[in-house]
Amino acid sequence: MVRAMVAALGILALAACAPLAPQPDASDRAAAELGVLSLGIAQPGRFEAVTVRLDLPASAAGSVLSFPENWGPEENLSQLRRDTAFRGLERLPGEGEAYRVAPGGGWIAYTVAQDYDGEPDWQTHRLPGMRVRTAQSHAFLLGQTVLPTWSQGGVPLTLDLQSLPQRAAFSFAPADCATGCALDDLANSVLALGDFAFDTRQAGDTTVRSAIRGSFAMDADAMSGVLAGMLDQGAQRFDDAPFASYLFAVNPIPAPPQGSAVVGTGLHRSFLLLASENADAERLRHTIAHEIVHEWITRRMGPTDEASDAQRMWFTEGATEYFAWKLQLAAGLIDTQDFLAGMSDLASEYLASPVRELPAGELAERIFESEEAQRLPYQRGALLAWHWDMLARERGSSLDAVIADLIDGNTGQELTDARIQAAMARRIGGHFDSDLVRYVVRGQALDPMALTLPGCVVAMPERSGTVRFAIEEGSSRDTCRAELLGPA
Ligand SMILES: [Zn+2]
């Protein structure tokens, strides 16, 4: 099947090349520097296997492509790839699967298929649905689990989706990559095929595409409404123009033994939501809001070092969680009471967490060990983000401005801890560094009662040992809302 596809693409390429003038102009020369990522299906009308092909020009010579073995909670990713064929690439010796591009350029093609039986479930998977799902009626996958990355050199790529069926959605449209997309960005994607309900709506300046399987407490319109409100507020508060297009894909997963599950993965101008169909609307809405904030924190700030990502979750997840609440309030998706209830829950979960005093370094190593470990950076980080927002506001600034600064300072270089911390300290002041060392680096217990809060909010200890944030007597909800949000 790979051979048949390769032959078909070869013919297409010939046909496209034939009319070229003998003297290529500047844009042709630029195109010759670009590679091509092609996605398709192996068999028309069936979704048991997805085909991937990378065509690499001579300008990529010497670059090295590496296939990941792990991503997030998933391991042994090479088992998802079959029928690998390549030419003009040299397979490098060593543990990982890596290829060096030869002087004339070359190509590599493979098919991707799920490597477990039946539907994703909680017995086989730490998080059902993160691993490639391919079936007769549908398929969905995350780019990070099946695409290689450049571990040395590399060229930008255009996108060829002509071999995908009509019922398909991918985070990128070919037009997005007309002048080349980074392979790293292209991997930050979701592909949904088959029996999803596909739809397109306009939300302000953004074209919102959706791909939804299953039925949930929120319908596609409601989900798009959350998306539109969040995109609008993020663009305003982070001083970052709205995106031309956005995709969200939703797939049902079985309910866990107790309760419900909603898991979001934020991707390039897109996210994948995995949810059990018994999940309530509030939880769906909040998870969608959170994933959209990741568009700015950190994707618009520059690439991060994945190997050490868990170390900076106080920022990547903590600030994201805080802004998920704050932007929902700003967009009118929730009211003042909802915001305070959300922050109260984070504080109470934090106080009840058996791992709340884990230093960031140790937490990073144990992040996938337990639900409590995974949640700690959200709880601790969001409470600190609220506190820091208030400290920055006392200086006439805000945490919104820190996010805007970090986006503004994106030159394509890696987003380092030093850059994050410098941006925070500049707006928040001297407290930031000492707070970070005390509560995150050393993991000392943070007392939610001692946070810097807006004047209209009081923190009240409860008998159960939890904390509840409430509007102070005499303050109205509207005044307090304005105080929580600060100037946009
Ligand atoms: Zn997150």
Do residues 152 and 249 both lie within one domain? no
Residue 230 CA to ligand 1 centre (angstroms): 15
Residue 369 CA to ligand 1 centre (angstroms): 17
Do residues 39 and 182 both lie within one domain? yes
Residue 313 CA to ligand 1 centre (angstroms): 9
Residue 349 CA to ligand 1 centre (angstroms): 17
User: What is d(CA 90, CA 64) in angstroms, rounded to the nearest whole number?
Assistant: 9
Residue 377 CA to ligand 1 centre (angstroms): 10
Last residue of a domain, one of 237, 263, 295: 295
Q: What pLDDT score does 26 carry?
A: 56
> Which regions in the chain score pLDDT beneath 70?
1-31
Q: For residue 78, give the nearest of 54, 109, 113, 107 by alpha carbon.
A: 113
Decide: 217 and 287 in contact? Cβ < 8 Å. Answer: no
Residue 380 CA to ligand 1 centre (angstroms): 14
Residue 127 CA to ligand 1 centre (angstroms): 15
Q: Is residue 18 part of a domain?
A: no
Do residues 9 and 135 both lie within one domain? yes
Expressed as residue numbers, the domain containing 181 is 2-13+33-194
Residue 317 CA to ligand 1 centre (angstroms): 5
Do residues 160 and 207 both lie within one domain? no
User: What is d(CA 137, CA 9) in angstroms, rounded to the nearest whole number?
Assistant: 25
Please tell me the chain's helix, strand, coil percentages from 3-state DSSP, rounded to the nearest 5.
40, 25, 35
Q: For residue 171, give the nearest of 190, 147, 156, 157 by alpha carbon.
A: 190
Pairing of strands 245-252, 206-212: parallel
Residue 296 CA to ligand 1 centre (angstroms): 11
Q: What pLDDT score does 257 carry?
A: 84
Q: What pLDDT score does 2 carry?
A: 31
Residue 289 CA to ligand 1 centre (angstroms): 10
**On the CB side of 260, how many CA atoms lie within 13 Å of its CA?**
15
Residues 6+ apart with CB under 8 A from 96: 66, 67, 69
Do residues 338 and 441 both lie within one domain? yes
Q: What is the dihedral of CA 85, 53, 168, 47, to 10 degrees?
A: 0
Q: What pLDDT score does 168 carry?
A: 96
Residue 244 CA to ligand 1 centre (angstroms): 22
State the total domains in the chain: 3
Do residues 185 and 219 both lie within one domain? no
Last residue of a domain, one of 295, 316, 333: 295
Which strand ranges, in their side-by-side order, compose the sheet holding 190-194?
Answer: 133-134, 138-142, 190-194, 168-170
Residue 379 CA to ligand 1 centre (angstroms): 12
Do residues 138 and 48 both lie within one domain? yes
**On the CB side of 139, how many CA atoms lie within 13 Å of its CA?**
31
Decide: 244 and 272 in contact? Cβ < 8 Å. Answer: no
- Identify residue 153 by its one-letter amino acid code: G
Residue 287 CA to ligand 1 centre (angstroms): 8
Q: Is residue 460 part of a domain?
A: yes
Do residues 190 and 202 both lie within one domain? no
Q: Is residue 21 part of a domain?
A: no
Do residues 190 and 200 both lie within one domain? no
Count of C-beta atoms within a 10 Å radius of residue 344: 19
User: What is d(CA 89, CA 94) in angstroms, rounded to the nearest whole number?
Assistant: 15
Q: What pLDDT score does 20 carry?
A: 36
Q: Is residue 465 part of a domain?
A: yes
Decide: 472 and 484 in contact? Cβ < 8 Å. Answer: no
Last residue of a domain, one of 272, 295, 318: 295
Do residues 406 and 330 both lie within one domain? yes
Residue 294 CA to ligand 1 centre (angstroms): 6
Do residues 377 and 466 both lie within one domain? yes
Residue 48 CA to ligand 1 centre (angstroms): 30
Do residues 478 and 449 both lie within one domain? yes
CATH number (domain holding residue 218) = 1.10.390.10
Q: Is residue 26 part of a domain?
A: no
Residue 290 CA to ligand 1 centre (angstroms): 6
Q: Is residue 473 part of a domain?
A: yes
